[in-house]
Amino acid sequence: MTETFTDWLRQRSEPDWTAVVTHPFTQGLFDGLVPVESMRSYLVQDYQFVDDFLALLGSAVAKADRYSSRLAIAGSIAVVTSEENTYFQRAFDALGVGEADRVRPVLDEATVAFRDVMNDANANGSYAEVLTVLTVAEWTYLEWAMRAPASPPENFVHAEWITLHNNPGFQGWVRWLCGELDRIGADLDERERARCLRVFQQATRCELDFFNAHWK
C-alpha cells in the first residue's frame, strides 16, 4: 500500500503523536475521573481556541482551490458554532465557570503557543499548511476519542466531550480533512512538504503540551 502524505507526516511526528492520542488525561475522561479543577481549567483554556479555530477554517475556505472543498469546510463551521459551543456553555454552567473565565481568562503557555501556530498559519500559511494545522487538531482528537469504551462516564461533561469527537459526523470530517491534505500534498514540492512537516510537528507538540498542562 502506498504511503499517504498524512501517514508520512504522522509517522515523522512520533513519539509526540502517540503520546497525545494515548494521554492519561484521555483515560481519565473515559473513566470519569478527571478532577473538577482540571476539567474546568482544560475546558476554559480549550474554549480560547474557538475564535482562532473559526478564523483558521475561514482561511481554509478562502485558500481552497475548489468549490467542493469550500463547501466541506463551511459545513464544519456550523458544527463549531452550534453543537460544540452549546456543550461549552452547559459544561461551564455545571463547573461553575464565571463570565470572566469564559471570555478573558489568564492563558496558559501551552494555549498561547498553539494559538500562535493557528494564527501564523491563518496569516501566512498556504492552503496546505492551514489544512495541516486543522488536520492535527481534529485527527488527534478523533484518535483518542475512538479509544473510548462502549460504556460512557456518567458525568455529561466527560461523556459529551468524548462523543463530540468520535461520532460518525466527526469521523467523516476527519476522513475528509486527511483525504484533502493527501490530495494537496501529492502536488507539493520538497520544500513545501518540509514546511508542512514542520507545522504538523509543531501542532502535535502543542497538543501534547496542552494535555500535560492539565494533568498533574
SS (H, E, C) 50-73: HHHHHHHHHHHHHHCCCHHHHHHH
Q: What are phi and psi of 133, to 5 degrees?
A: -65, -45
Number of residues in the chain: 216
Residue 180 marked ligand-binding:
no
Given 129, 160, 180, 207, the catalytic residue: 207
| Structure-block grid coordinates of residue 83 | 453543537
Q: Which residues contact 47 (CB under 8 A, 6 or more apart)?
A: 88, 92, 102
**Is 143 part of the annotated catalytic residue set?**
no
Find out whether 16 is annotated in a ligand binding site.
no
Question: Is 84 annotated in some ligand binding site?
Answer: yes
What is the rounded distance in angstroms from the CA atom of residue 96 to the CA atom of residue 175? Answer: 36
Could you tell me which residues are annotated as the binding site for substrate?
46, 84, 138
Could you tell me which residues are annotated as the binding site?
46, 84, 138
Q: Which residues are catalytic?
A: 207
